[in-house]
Structure formats: structure tokens, C-alpha cells
Amino acid sequence: MFRLNGKRALITGGNSGIGFGIAAFLAQAGASAVIIGKNKKRNTDAVNQLRQINSACNAEEFDLSNTAKIGAFFKSLIKRYGLFDILVNCAGITLRKRADRIEIDEWNNIININLTAAFVLSSEWAKSLISVHRPGSCIMVISLMSEAARPTTAAYGASKAALKQLVRSLAVDWAQFNIRVNGIGPGYIRTKLTEPLYRDKKFSKWVISRTPLGRWGKPEDIGPLAVFLCCDEAGFITGQTIFVDGGWLASL
């Protein structure tokens, strides 16, 4: 059970953090994983590690902020690898800035990468499957900030809340084609993106005290759920966002 043998997966932001953690578990479950990242060295390092798990893994260099070029880029991937049964939208950026101090260019950049790029890539992916009547599974990586807020998270939280709603909308649109769309909402996970928060002793202590399971999460905490949502045994699950947060949202 819960195997992905013969499946091909595309993971954005797959060269580090949560994206890499998901790619590693998908590869371990038998999927050939192609990761997308804009940093060549990180891509190389990540794919070398992935190939120790599954030799059929590859990396592609691309900057998802170039949303107008996503369509052509995705078509080139299909020519190189074939169709992708699984798409994981994990690439994202953040901006820690009080709302009234955010410049419009900064706002647009967050929305463009976290939301628009995920929508454009997902649409191209779905079209490629619909055209040949092939099922698929898409995962959007959301955030606690789609449900809660803290200072300096306005732009990031808005992008992730919109992404959570996009999960529902795409799931309903594409269910007729047996294309499932679900979200994973990580809690406070220690990654390069959150390293400044983790190293802030006061903030880190707050996270641990606020989380019922009493610790920061790890990228390895996310991967198993991604495998489950992508496998055939989860074939009746779509339009859902599942939070992996150590009980953070459940606690007052």
C-alpha cells in the first residue's frame, strides 16, 4: 500500500526544505521525481541526494517568478520526461514586514510567486493530463498563516489563504477528469526560510510552548502525508487542506 511505482512527480522548490523533504519521500515510494529550483548548486546537491534513493530523479533550473514563461518551460519538461502524474507546488517566498510598510512591488512579488505561479503551472499540468484522459494528483503547500496571523505576515498570509481557496476551486473544476487537488499546511517547520525565526530564542521558545507536541517540525514530517495524498488509496480525497502543525491550530 501507499506506493507510487511508475508515477512521475514534479516538485517546485524541491531543492531544499519542505520541498526536498516531499521529493525524498515521493522518490522513496517509487516515483521518479523532477525538482524545480532557480539555484543551480542547490539543484545539483539535492538531486545527487535524491538519486541515492531513486536513480530516476532529475533537477531543472527555472525561476518561477517568470510566470509568462511557465507554459513554454512546462512543455519542454513534457518533451524531456513525459507526462507528470503528480505536481507539488512548494516554491514560495516570504516577507517579514509590517503591513503599512510593504511596497506594492514587494506585495506583487509575494503574490506572483506564491499564488500566481502555482496557478499557472497547475493549469498547464492539468491541461496536459486532461488532453489524454489521464488522472493526476496535485498538492499545494499552504501555511498556518492561511488560518491565523501574526505581525509582519500580511503579504505571505494573504497569498497562502488564497492558495488554500484555490485548492478547493481546482478540485471542483477538475474532479470530472479524476484530477485531485489537496493542500498540506505545515506548522512551524525548521528550514532555511524559517532559520531566522528558529535562531531567535524568544520566538523559538514561544513556538514550542504554543505547539502541543512541544517542538518545531521537520521537513520529514511533511513527506509521508504527501505520499499518501498522491497514492491510489487516497483516491476519494480532494479539495482538502490537512495541517501538519503539532496541534498548533487546535490549541488556544
Enzyme catalytic residues: 156
For residue 217, give the DSSP letter.
B
Q: Residue holding cell 499564488?
A: 115
Q: Residue holding cell 505536481?
A: 87
Other beta carbons within 10 angstroms of residue 95's beta carbon come to 16
Coil, helix or strand at residue 12: strand
The residues, any chain, with a CB within 8 Å of residue 40's CB and separated by 6 or more, are 61
Look at residues 134, 234, 244, 249 and name the one whose alpha carbon lies nearest to residue 189: 244
Q: How far apart are CA 72 and CA 152, in angstroms?
A: 35
Q: How far apart are CA 241 and CA 180, in angstroms?
A: 12
Q: Which DSSP string do the residues of 112-168 spell out, in sequence order?
A: IIIIIHHHHHHHHHHHHHHTTT--EEEEEE--GGGT---TT-HHHHHHHHHHHHHHH
Q: How far apart are CA 196 and CA 200, in angstroms?
A: 6
Q: How far apart are CA 239 and CA 42, in angstroms?
A: 32
